[in-house]
Structure 1
Amino acid sequence: MTDAEVPRQPNTFALWREVDDTRIRTRLGGFFYVLAWLLTWVFSAAPGSLMVSGVLGCTVFVVLLAARLLHRPDGLDSPEQLQCWLDRHWGLILLTSLCWGQAHALAVYSDAYNDSEMIATLATVAFATAMTFNFAMRRGRALLALALLYLPGLTVMALNWQQKHAMLITLTFYLGYLILVLGRNHREYRATLDLELKLLEQQSQLDLLSRTDSLTQLGNRYQFNNLFPSLVANAVRQGEPLSLVLMDIDFFKKVNDEHGHAGGDACLSAFAERMRKVFRRDADALLRLGGEEFGVLLPGTTLAQAWDLAEHFRQELETEGLMLAGQRLELTTSLGVGCFSSSHDGDADAFFKRVDGALYRAKREGRNRLVAADH
């Protein structure tokens, strides 16, 4: 996945990270189960006489290897899908562990495998060690996998205590060590994941700050430049209307001159708050484009609907003004409005210029008015 595809929601990111780690760490593991059983069979006392168990074991582990490789986490984007993939893939891991545990028990139990019993035992130790270090993200499931790998062979050794007690005791102590290490690795994995989540949160906050005007808390010009072309492209693709309202505060320099820059900042903040009360749908994107110029992107909104909202905003501002330091400030705004048209707008820039032209006509014609963009 690219950085753009990494999920930003904490719960989804945690599952995505676990899926990605599991996919990478399990990719080649199945091959070594095949190889370990093949060596156990080939180096037994009489491989030819063990053809049935040898071929059957190879077939089982080859099928499990293929199942691992084919079970890819492609196109997963929701927590439910990610969790489902993890559950199924862990099912393959546990099934492989169960099969190898039985294979090891067979090698320890059958005299026919005496010459290669040590190969199977060493492979069990290797698989259990790999499980401890590679799959500590799910401690409970990893413990179950260790039990499936280890306990069948240990059970057979316990039944043959007189001959196998030294190996049984050694493997039991090593199993205890693996359980302790698994707990430590699990805590380290969770700590690393928590750190990644904190970094993701900081990155999201920085991204929000880079896209937000610090004074008005509206989207800034950078946000507009990123959002506007994508909304235009989506409107073309979906065949839905997209309207744009551009507005300038009339004679804003006079506000700064009479109330100072602090008063001007308070005016801008109050103007933005008034915008939020009128353009309040979740899909509406409210932006400060610079200075005293503002804009509103209205997806799924016709020109008539955008006109009504913009005119309502203009009339309300003219009638009520803004409250500044406990006093009413008379204020008006000039507005331009337009709806994207494939026949008149070749791209997002052409659409913006058309609406921007309407805004300047409103200012030239006396301000405090709304003008629709030419078709």
Structure 2
Amino acid sequence: MTDAEVPRQPTTFALWREVDDTRIRTRLGGFFYLLAWLLTWIFSTAPGSLIVTGLLGTALFTALLAARLLHRPDGLETPQQLQRWLNHHWGLILLTALCWGQTHALVLYRDEYNDSELIATLSTIAFGTAMTFNFAMRRQRALLALALLYLPGLAVMALDWQNRHALLITLIFYLAYLVLVLGRNHREYRSTLALELKLLDQQRQLDLLSRTDSLTQLGNRYQFNNLFPSLVASAQRKGEPLSLVLLDIDFFKKVNDEHGHAGGDACLSAFAERMRRVFRRDGDALLRLGGEEFGVLLPGTTQAQAWDLAERFRQELEAEGLLLADQRLELTTSLGIGSFDSRYDSDADAFFKRVDSALYRAKREGRNRLVAADH
């Protein structure tokens, strides 16, 4: 998923951000586990006598490294898919921590690794520190990973209390420090995520404002110019119907002259509300194209179906008018209607011009009428 495809829904965005952070931070981790094992084996007291164990450990950490690298978050879109990826990848992280914790315990327990046990111990400290700072987004899972890394080695040291009590106590204090830091890092990660979500919401609101007519709360011309071509392309590709209705309030200048601009604004708002009552399906896009001109995009709607809706709107408006300041305002509208037809419409502009011509024909022929676009 590219930055241009960043999800806008808060839950999906939070999971997407965690997936992206996990992917970036886990990229080199598997390599260092493999490197730590190779150094522990090579610098052991007798690496030649540990050839079988050495090769098995190398194969194990190589396989874990490959599993991490091959587990890529490609094509993830839904929250369920993102959560499944996280669960699977955390499974790999915890499995790696388990394997290293057991490796550290083995190195401390076996005399053959006396010369390299410091390497294994320092590696355990490094892996625990990396876990604390890189994977604080899931505190409980990170705590489990720390336990898997540290506890096996600490248990072996406890069995040899007389010789290793100083190191054991030091590592316990350091582990306690990591737990405290993990809690702080978790809170900071969540705070940063909350800030990102707030910025995302502000961006969504700004985008909505840029696409919405402030007076009528319908889509504006900018939204129409973005939505219309994509709907035409979709209808052309899928072979599905797409209808367009254009509406123009008759003699709107008279409304402004008699009721003032405030009355004119109230008229436009009431007209838009009446549009919502008739064109109320989820897929319908209601727009104010400018001044007293409005439009309705009706995906999956034939011209006959759109005609019935548009004619119902015209008749109800003629019969009922609009209610302004508790007074009935007589009002009519002229309408043009058409359905996209690839035989006559080479593109969205051609389709719009055909329906727009029908609207102007309705106005020339006396207004308060619905006219279908010519073929």
TM-score > 0.5, shorter chain as reference? yes
Aligned partner of 2:270 in structure 1 is 270
Q: Is residue 313 of structure 2 the alignment partner of residue 326 of structure 1?
A: no
Matches within 5 A, 1:46-61: 46-61=46-61
Aligned partner of 1:124 in structure 2 is 124
Pairwise CA distance, 1:9: 1.0
Aligned partner of 2:280 in structure 1 is 280
Pairwise CA distance, 1:237: 1.6
Task: Give the AA of the match of 1:35.
Answer: L
Pairwise CA distance, 1:325: 1.1
1: CA distance, partners of 2:167 / 2:57: 24
Pairwise CA distance, 1:166: 1.2
Q: Is residue 176 of structure 2 the alignment partner of residue 193 of structure 1?
A: no
Aligned partner of 1:176 in structure 2 is 176
1: CA distance, partners of 2:223 / 2:179: 51
Aligned partner of 2:258 in structure 1 is 258
Deviations 1:50-91 (A, max 9, x none): 001111111000000000011111111111111111011000
Matches within 5 A, 1:1-375: 1-375=1-375
Pairwise CA distance, 1:357: 0.7
Deviations 1:12-46 (A, max 9, x none): 11111111100110011100000000000001111
Pairwise CA distance, 1:233: 1.1
2: CA distance, partners of 1:110 / 1:3: 50
Aligned residue for 1:115, secondary structure, equals coil
Aligned residue for 2:16, secondary structure, equals helix
Aligned residue for 2:74, secondary structure, equals coil
Aligned residue for 1:247, secondary structure, equals strand
Task: Give the AA of the match of 1:201.
Answer: D
Pairwise CA distance, 1:102: 0.7
Task: Give the AA of the match of 1:131.
Answer: M
2: CA distance, partners of 1:165 / 1:349: 82
Aligned residue for 2:231, secondary structure, equals helix
Task: Give the AA of the match of 2:169.
Answer: I
2: CA distance, partners of 1:4 / 1:369: 45
Percent identity over paired residues = 84
Aligned residue for 1:328, secondary structure, equals strand
TM-score for the superposition, normalised by structure 2: 0.99
Pairwise CA distance, 1:216: 0.3
Task: Give the AA of the match of 2:373.
Answer: A
Aligned residue for 2:116, secondary structure, equals helix
Pairwise CA distance, 1:234: 1.0
- The count of residues paired between Structure 1 and Structure 2 equals 375
1: CA distance, partners of 2:266 / 2:215: 9
Aligned residue for 2:178, secondary structure, equals helix
2: CA distance, partners of 1:373 / 1:216: 27
Structure 1: runs of 5+ lacking an equivalent = none
Aligned residue for 2:335, secondary structure, equals strand
Pairwise CA distance, 1:176: 0.5
Pairwise CA distance, 1:301: 0.2
Pairwise CA distance, 1:3: 3.4
2: CA distance, partners of 1:365 / 1:231: 30
Pairwise CA distance, 1:179: 0.3
2: CA distance, partners of 1:289 / 1:94: 57
Pairwise CA distance, 1:2: 3.1
1: CA distance, partners of 2:301 / 2:161: 81
Pairwise CA distance, 1:4: 3.0
1: CA distance, partners of 2:139 / 2:325: 60
Q: RMSD over aligned Cα, in angstroms?
A: 0.7
Aligned residue for 2:75, secondary structure, equals coil
TM-score for the superposition, normalised by structure 1: 0.99
Tell me which stretches of 4 or more aligned residues in structure 1 moved more than 6 Å.
none
2: CA distance, partners of 1:346 / 1:34: 61
